[in-house]
Amino acid sequence: KIPVWLDCDPGHDDAFAILITALHPSFDLLGISTIHGNSSLEKVTNNALSLLTAFGRPDVPVYPGSRKPFMRPAIHAPAIHGESGIEGTTLLPVPTAKPQSTPAVEAMRTAIMATPANTCALVVTGTMTNAALLFAAFPEVAEHIKVLSIMGGGFEMGNITKWAEFNIYCDPESASSIFTLPSLSGKIILSPLDLTHTVLVTEGVREVLTTPPSTLRTMLYELLMFFAGTYVEVFNMTEGPPLHDPIAVAAVMKDLKMGYEVEECGVKIVCNGEEMGRTVKVAVGEEGNEHEGDKVLGEEGAGKGGVRVKVGRGVNVER
């Protein structure tokens, strides 16, 4: 089994990342940390606990993480996920477990350090404040990480602005600290919007989910219908929605009958100005060293080479 830690802001699509990490036999889910993002820290934490109760895994410990980025106020996404962060169903149960009191990054450190070197997967499906704090406070953790799989960014498209994807836009400085951290070079897999928008939960896929009927399936279906509805309202996207976050989980699964194609490059984050939160592909630096890289997209702000990142550019699911 792959030891995995999930850092998330549930979130309709985060809910499916929790579902897979909590129930798929490939994974040993060590714990969940929550992060400001789709809604407030309190709400996303309650959502994580409720989902785990619904999935029959209230034993998975949930640790509330950062309430806001270091350098900015928090931003939420009620237009996409509703005020609670996960609206659209009345079937979410009252959680049977409480949030843990240990600070999230301390719990992450303890759990990840207890795994053998180079074995643990850390999946981040929200803004990157917890992840940045973890590697800044406890640099030794990087050695135990086999893969840091992130849902975020977009190279040819944005969603919160024309340039930027939500998770990166909310805390670009934290994202930048991760994409320039030498000890993570070669360990990062990024699933950007360009990829997640190719994996759509079309009506046919939603229907498959409802058979055979059960309360849990109805709840998941209702969540997907709400998410599909906001994608129509906000993005006028009728064939969808894209279910971003579980793609970052799928990227680390061994036995999935799925091709996950990557390209290797550096990733630069634009932290200021009109293009704030934009992800830009740059040349890979000398491993571990920042350097002047080639500007692939040729925009202001590009130019420093990042560490080695595998950027997902195609998935191929066998049904």
Residues belonging to the active site: 244
What type of residue is 266?
Answer: G
Site string for ligand BDR, 48-77 (x = CB under 6 A): -----------------------------x
Minimum distance from CB of 182 to ligand BDR (Å)? Answer: 26
Which of the ranges 58-66, 128-136, 164-172, 175-183 carries the binding residues for ligand BDR, by CB under 6 A? 164-172
Minimum distance from CB of 176 to ligand BDR (Å)? Answer: 17
Nearer to ligand BDR, 176 or 194 (CB): 194
Give the footprint of Ca ion on residues 118-137 (CB under 5 A). Answer: 125-126
Q: Which of 11, 31, 153, 293 lies at the binding interface for Ca ion (CB under 5 A)? A: 11
Residue 268 contacts which entry, Ca ion, ligand BDR, none (Cβ below 5-8 A, type-dependent) = none
**13 near ligand BDR, judged by CB under 6 A:** yes
Q: Which of 45, 50, 159, 230 lies at the binding interface for ligand BDR (CB under 6 A)? A: 159
Which residues of this chain interact with ligand BDR, rule CB under 6 A?
A: 11, 13-14, 38, 77, 80, 125, 151, 159, 165-167, 244-245
Which residues of this chain interact with Ca ion, rule CB under 5 A?
A: 9, 11, 14, 125-126, 245
